[in-house]
Each structure stands twice: as structure tokens, then as C-alpha cells.
Chains A and B, each alone.
Chain A
Amino acid sequence: MSKEDLDRYSRQILMNNFNKDSQLKLLNTSVLIIGAGGLGSTAILYLGSAGFGRIGIVDNDVVEETNLHRQVIHDETKIGLSKAVSAQQTIKKLNSKCECYVYKLLLTSENALSVIKPYDIVIDATDNVCATYLINDACILTNKILIQASALRMEGQLSVFNYNNGPCYRCLNPIPPPAGTVTKCNVSGVLGVVPGIMGCFQAVEAIKIAAGLGANYSQKLLIYDAELGKVRVVKTRPKQENCSICGKNPSITSLIDYEDFCNMKKCTNPNMSKDRITVEEYNEILKVNKPHVLIDVRPKEAFQLSNLPNAINIPKLELSNNAQKIKDLLKKKAEEANVSEVPLYLICRSSATSLNSIPILKEQGNFKVSYIIGGLLEWKKKIDPSFQIE
């Protein structure tokens, strides 16, 4: 190890159970962090500074103002920027020697194995049930250790999977929760520091595993409740012989359709065909001048940079407060066109935000609403190559 590195990491090498060899192990270990949000922010900061040789960051989202209370790796100057790139910029300033790669993509059954393969340890810092099953399965198929955590309101949970013949996420949760029983931060809220704490726990686990000190939370579940001030560490079941992915005769041998598995298609799309339209279909609607309302649900900074001329900007988190305004707009359009009702379309950069906006609107009334598949990126690709977006 170089003298520079010895100096830089001297304070952790000073510990009697963490020596130069442990630090070298970190330098030779790579970690993939999936999600640069509330959990990922602190996990990435500590992993970037701890002396890992290589880290990778996966995120397809852009920084929004409402993220900043918890996603502390980003700041006000990064609003509208890719979260993965923003996190990478922070790490480059923090530790220029840490190789930091970004994947500006949504992890899917098609790309997950190739993204995960080059890394030793995987951190699930995502915010949804489909991603968690996808990452779990991908880690089993590529034999990677998985550190999974989640946070909501004032509570957090964490566990380490596929470690030393321990259980995987499916061993504990063979059946996904019914659609409609799961809520997210943008609906239930979250105290900013709670995912930050859970991300720190993920970083500790990654460091201990990499340094050969052993994981704390394999076959254990850490449950943190900031409301009660309670930390529980509970023993869970061991690896299950009949587990459908890591058991003796697995029925899942390649990645599957996780939205379908988690019943999410039904959840977000009670009438699938009506709930989403393609960019080609929307282009047709524009051409024939069919009356409708188009809402761009991106943050206003992103909207100001580029937008479709007929779009109205109402960022996702302002939708509930503007439900009446939207109803009035629809009514006005319908009256102008002399029809009983007109459809509402949602658009955003990639369609992740607009898809998630649909349940928010449906809570506020009986909206006839669809999102545009692939969003503005798809619009640029298929309809208007001159559209300014990346």
C-alpha cells in the first residue's frame, strides 16, 4: 500500500481489529450501489471515503428539490441532473482515487446480470418491491452478497442476503405483498435522516464483509424505529431448501417479469390498455387535434429547459394540491370541444415519474388518466430527434 494511502486511512488502520491488510482488501473490493436516493446517499458517501477500489452507482432518476431533505449526496445545484452523475461528482471530489462508475439506467431483467457481474458486493438502496426481488434474484444467479435495506416514515429495516450460505430475500418473503398494501416515501412520507441511518448501516456491512470481519446481519433482520427509539435485531429463518431461487430445486433459473410477479401491472394499471399510450399514439392525437390535457410532471427546472408546447407543468408532488385545478382544466377543455369529458395524459423524462403519478391522481378523484410510455426520451427517439433532453 502506498504511503499516501497509509496516511489517508491511518485512523481506521489504527484499530486493533482492522489493519493494513484489511484496508488492502477494501482497495481490492468493488461495490455496486443500486439507487442514489435516501439510502444510497449515505452508503455511497461512506463507501467512497472508506477506501474501496471501485464503486458503481445505478440510478435512472434526476434530482428533485423534494429529494434534498434526505438524499444528502446531492445539493441545490444538482436539481434536474441525473442522480447517478450527481453522486459520482460528489465522490470524485471526496476521494479522487476511488474508481466510480455510473449506470444511468433503470435496472431490468434484461440488464441486471451484466450490470451486477463485475462487482463483489451489491447494495439494494432502491425504493420498491419489484426492484428488491429483481436484485435478490440477480444476486443469487451471479452469486453476489446482497445488503438490502429500506426506510419509510420513521422506520428502517436491513438484512444481508446470500452470505455464507445464509437466506436470501425470497427465503424470508416467498410471496410479494399484494399490490395496494405497499406504500412509498412519496405517499407516506419519510423522516430524512432515517434512510440516511439505514444507508450507513449498509456501508458498515459492506466494509466488514470486504475486510473479512464478517457480516452482522446475515440471517438477522435489523429493525429501527425512530418513533419509539427502538432498535431490534431479530433472528430470521435460515436458507430455505424449498426457496424458488436459492433452494435445492429452484423453479427460477433466469430473471423473470418482476412487475408481473409483484402484481404491479394490476396495481398501477387497473385498465392497462387505457392507462398508457405510446409516443406514436400521442403524436397521432396531436396531429388530429383531439382535445385532451397534457401535464408534464417533471420538476419545474427540468420543464423550463425543454417541454412540449402544449404541456402544462405540474410537478408530481404538487399534483394532489392541484387536483381541483386539473379537474377545472379538463372541464374547460371538454366544454370547448363540446364533449362530455377529455382524457388526461401525463409525461415526464422516462415515464417512471408519470407512472407513479397515476395513483396520486386517482386518490384525488376519478381521473381518466394515462401516461406516455417512455416519456420525452422516447419522444426524442421516435418522433422528434431535435427535442432537447438527455
Chain B
Amino acid sequence: MGKNITLSFGGGMEILFNNTKEREIELPDSVVNIKDLIAYMKDELLQERPELFVLNDSVRPGIIVLINNADWEIEGGLEYELEDDDEITFISTLHGG
């Protein structure tokens, strides 16, 4: 059975994903790590303009990725293996004021 995780979005990333800031999804067995998740999201969940989300098999620069509310760099980045109930967050850096 696939794992259930929560995806959350912010900073405008939600616009690319059906305008929802939070959703729970069940992953297919083929999605093991964050790299797989990004590819899956691009193919199955992204509504428009992939260039605003991905670049060369990763997220584009300017997107903060959080794994259970910690910077993904601390958790292993693309290679982090997803677990049940993980919350993965994609937030665009803001530039306004």
C-alpha cells in the first residue's frame, strides 16, 4: 500500500496546484523519495506552467522545501525517503514589501 502524506504550499506555489494550500495524498508505491515525489507532482498534480515548479529534476531555485517543517537540506534533500504522515511543504520565496 502507498504512503499517505500531506502536501502544503505557500508563497504562490498553491496557484500551480489547484489553488489549495494543503492536501493529503496517497502515493503510488513507485514514489520512494523526494526526487520521485517532485516528478510525480509534476506529472500528476501540477495544473500549469511546469517551469514555475521544476528545473532539471529538482524544484526551481526560489522554492523552499520543508520536510516536516525543517529545511530539506538538513533531512537529505532529494534523497530523503518519504514516510507515512510526512508533511512536505513547497513555499516560494517572497520578494515584496
**Which residues of chain A in 205-231 are interfacial with respect to chain B, using CB atoms and an 8 Å cutoff?**
221, 223, 225, 227-228
Structural contact, B93 and A150, CB atoms closer than 8 A = yes
- How close is B54's CB to chain A, nearest CB, in angstroms? 11
Inter-chain contacts of B22 with A (CB < 8 A) = 228
**Which residues of chain B in 64-97 are interfacial with respect to chain A, using CB atoms and an 8 Å cutoff?**
64, 66, 69-71, 73-74, 91-97
Inter-chain contacts of B61 with A (CB < 8 A) = 173-178
Structural contact, B74 and A178, CB atoms closer than 8 A = no
Cross-chain contact of B94 among A151, A234, A236 (Cβ < 8 A) = A151
Structural contact, A178 and B97, CB atoms closer than 8 A = no
Q: Among A39, A132, A178, which residue has the most Cβ atoms of chain B within 10 A?
A: A178
- Knowing A181-B52, A225-B10, A228-B21, say if A234 contacts B93 (CB, 8 Å): no
- How close is B52's CB to chain A, nearest CB, in angstroms? 5
Contact with A along B45-72 (1 / 0, CB 8 A): 0000001100100001111101001110
Structural contact, A227 and B21, CB atoms closer than 8 A = yes
Structural contact, A150 and B21, CB atoms closer than 8 A = no
- Knowing A181-B52, A183-B12, A223-B10, say if A236 contacts B97 (CB, 8 Å): no
Q: Residue on B with the closest CB to A183?
A: B12
Contact with A along B3-40 (1 / 0, CB 8 A): 00000001110000000011000000000000000000
Cross-chain contact of A150 among B51, B73, B95 (Cβ < 8 A) = B95
Interchain CA distance A172-B71 in the complex, whole Å: 9
By size class, the interface of chain A is 35 or more
Instruction: Judge whether A190 is part of the interface by a CB distance below 8 angstroms.
Output: yes
Inter-chain contacts of B91 with A (CB < 8 A) = 157, 223
- How close is B85's CB to chain A, nearest CB, in angstroms? 17
Number of A-B contacts (CB under 8 A): 102
Structural contact, B60 and A235, CB atoms closer than 8 A = no
Instruction: Judge whether A51 is part of the interface by a CB distance below 8 angstroms.
Output: no
Inter-chain contacts of A129 with B (CB < 8 A) = 93, 95
Residues of chain B at interface, number, CB under 8 A: 26
Structural contact, B12 and A237, CB atoms closer than 8 A = no
Q: Among A39, A128, A182, A198, which residue has the most Cβ atoms of chain B within 10 A?
A: A182
Structural contact, B74 and A235, CB atoms closer than 8 A = yes
Inter-chain contacts of B73 with A (CB < 8 A) = 236-237
Contact with B along A289-327 (1 / 0, CB 8 A): 000000000000000000000000000000000000000
- How close is B50's CB to chain A, nearest CB, in angstroms? 12
Q: Residue on B with the closest CB to A150?
A: B94
Structural contact, B52 and A234, CB atoms closer than 8 A = no
Instruction: Judge whether A382 is part of the interface by a CB distance below 8 angstroms.
Output: no
Instruction: Judge whether A286 is part of the interface by a CB distance below 8 angstroms.
Output: no
Q: Residue on B with the closest CB to A236?
A: B71
Instruction: Judge whether A374 is part of the interface by a CB distance below 8 angstroms.
Output: no
Instruction: Judge whether A383 is part of the interface by a CB distance below 8 angstroms.
Output: no
Contact with B along A167-203 (1 / 0, CB 8 A): 0000011111110011111001010000100100000
Inter-chain contacts of B55 with A (CB < 8 A) = 178
Interchain CA distance A129-B96 in the complex, whole Å: 9
Interchain CA distance A37-B95 in the complex, whole Å: 13
Interchain CA distance A348-B2 in the complex, whole Å: 58
Q: Residue on A with the closest CB to B53?
A: A181
Instruction: Judge whether A375 is part of the interface by a CB distance below 8 angstroms.
Output: no
Instruction: Judge whether A149 is part of the interface by a CB distance below 8 angstroms.
Output: yes
Interchain CA distance A126-B95 in the complex, whole Å: 8
Inter-chain contacts of B69 with A (CB < 8 A) = 232, 234-235
Interchain CA distance A38-B70 in the complex, whole Å: 28
- How close is A126's CB to chain B, nearest CB, in angstroms? 6
Interchain CA distance A184-B91 in the complex, whole Å: 16
Besides A151-B97, A188-B12, A188-B96, 12 other CB < 8 A contacts? A35-B97, A38-B96, A127-B95, A151-B94, A152-B11, A157-B94, A183-B96, A190-B96, A195-B96, A232-B69, A234-B69, A236-B74
Task: Spell out A's residues near B (CB within 8 Å).
Answer: 35, 37-40, 125-129, 132, 149-153, 155-157, 172-178, 181-185, 188, 190, 195, 198, 221, 223, 225, 227-228, 232, 234-237
Q: Give 20 pairs: A residue, B residue, CB < 8 Å, sorted on A.
A: A35-B97, A129-B95, A150-B97, A157-B91, A157-B94, A173-B93, A175-B61, A176-B61, A178-B51, A178-B61, A178-B62, A181-B62, A183-B96, A221-B64, A223-B91, A228-B21, A228-B22, A236-B74, A237-B71, A237-B73
